[in-house]
Amino acid sequence: MKIETKIAKFTKPLYLESGRILEPWQIIYETYGELNEDKSNVILITHALSGSHHAAGKYENDTKPGWWDALIGEGKAIDTNKYFVIATNVIGSCFGSTGPMSHIYPGSEERYRLKFPVVTIKDMIKAQKILLDSLGIKHIKAVIGGSMGGMQALRFGVDYPGFSEYVIPIATTYQTKPYVIAINKSMTEAIRADKEFNNGNYKPGALLKGLSAARMIGYLNYTSPATFEKKFGREYVKTDGMFELFGRFQVESYLEYNGANFPKWFDALSYIYLLKAISLFDISRGFNSLEDAFSAIKDKLYLISFSGDTLFFPQEMREIKKYMDKVDGKCQYYEIDSNYGHDSFLVETQKFDFLINDILKGKLDARF
């Protein structure tokens, strides 16, 4: 599989939903497979909160492949022998696209930090659409993403009707519910409570403990109680004392490890900005009603949710289906049985890869 990593730089301003601009701005992206002659075989992959443009394949010396490697590749559900797959890192993130810590506030020599504008899901896909335009791509086969990536896919369907043949949002919602806003808030506040965060003025590369704590909160909300049971049970770390205050169960040791690693590869300000984007997500913003928003979708909308998702409950995606039915949109809803919680979209790919394969082959369109 041919993998290419590129950075697209734009000098024209990116006009954001907030009324502010990013100028200049850039987006890092990765492609898999080959663009065909008439540029008609493009699939856009949109990533989740801590995801990146590295969706598939392995870099040299890498031990782990991209986050959706199980789905994207030669002969896989998203077949790179057939499709030219583009995965971009969202603006605001920290893997090379313009973000609060990685880039300079124009006209200064300082990083953006808290001067970075709030970006929304709408802004993210606007940036991706500009990238597609710059590549001369006039139409895509599909936009596919899970969680925050699913929000982007849905927004793409609403904002650029007719541009994609298929829109496939997975494990997501149409409007972030207050429960999830509360989870996001507790993560943001865990970061802000750490004095070393210093109101955004932390040292570049600082391993912020507040960000580690936020990661732990995230982990427990994206994983299911059943997964914890299966993976850790009540095993205690053998070298720790049961009655030491900071003695650890295996699950605690894992959270510490996972939490301690996170600040090594993810930036605290990007985390806060992306949480904000998720909390602000409401597909009806800019429309008079949810019906109006959904009636804008002209592409074929395929929804995939997971029974055990306790972050974006299946019920929320069933509501999308109801709205689409109401406005006579083309929509099909699939619910996958899974015990893995919200992260099912990452760890249970074998339960829905065939579905994506069938969708892309048009096998399910007969049902419309």
Active-site residue numbers?
147, 309, 342
**110 belongs to the binding site for its own copies (CB under 8 A):** no
Site string for its own copies, 190-209 (x = CB under 8 A): x-xxxxx-----------xx
**333 belongs to the binding site for its own copies (CB under 8 A):** no
**106 belongs to the binding site for its own copies (CB under 8 A):** no
**99 belongs to the binding site for its own copies (CB under 8 A):** no
Binder of its own copies out of 212, 305, 344, 349 (CB under 8 A): 212
Q: What dihedral angle (degrees, nearest 10) is formed by the CA atoms of 125, 99, 51, 265? A: 170
**272 belongs to the binding site for its own copies (CB under 8 A):** yes
- Rounded CA-CA distance 351/291 in Å is 31
- Rounded CA-CA distance 154/166 in Å is 10
Q: Which of residues 298-327 bind its own copies (CB under 8 A)?
A: 310, 313
By beta-carbon proximity to its own copies, the closer residue of 251 and 346 is: 251
Specify the stretch interacting with its own copies by CB under 8 A; choose among 76-84, 160-168, 185-193, 346-354.
Answer: 185-193
Shortest Å distance, C-beta 211 to its own copies: 8
By beta-carbon proximity to its own copies, the closer residue of 79 and 194 is: 194
By beta-carbon proximity to its own copies, the closer residue of 250 and 332 is: 250
Amino acid at 4: E
By beta-carbon proximity to its own copies, the closer residue of 100 and 145 is: 100
**21 belongs to the binding site for its own copies (CB under 8 A):** no
Cα distances (angstroms) measured from residue 54 to each of 1, 43, 90, 302? 14, 15, 12, 24
**168 burial type by CB count under 10 A (0-12 exposed, 13-18 middle, 19+ buried):** buried
- Rounded CA-CA distance 151/210 in Å is 27
Site string for its own copies, 51-90 (x = CB under 8 A): ----------------------------------------
By beta-carbon proximity to its own copies, the closer residue of 47 and 122 is: 122
Binder of its own copies out of 5, 40, 41, 186 (CB under 8 A): 186
Shortest Å distance, C-beta 259 to its own copies: 7
Binder of its own copies out of 5, 41, 175, 357 (CB under 8 A): 175
Specify the stretch interacting with its own copies by CB under 8 A; choose among 124-132, 133-141, 229-237, 324-332.
Answer: 229-237
Specify the stretch interacting with its own copies by CB under 8 A; choose among 27-35, 226-234, 330-338, 353-361.
Answer: 226-234
Q: Under rule CB under 8 A, how many of the chain's residues touch its own copies? A: 61
The residues binding its own copies (CB under 8 A) are 17-20, 114, 117-118, 120, 175-179, 181-183, 185-186, 189-190, 192-196, 208-210, 212-213, 216-217, 219-220, 224-225, 228-229, 231-234, 242-245, 249-252, 255-256, 259, 272-273, 276, 279-280, 282, 310, 313
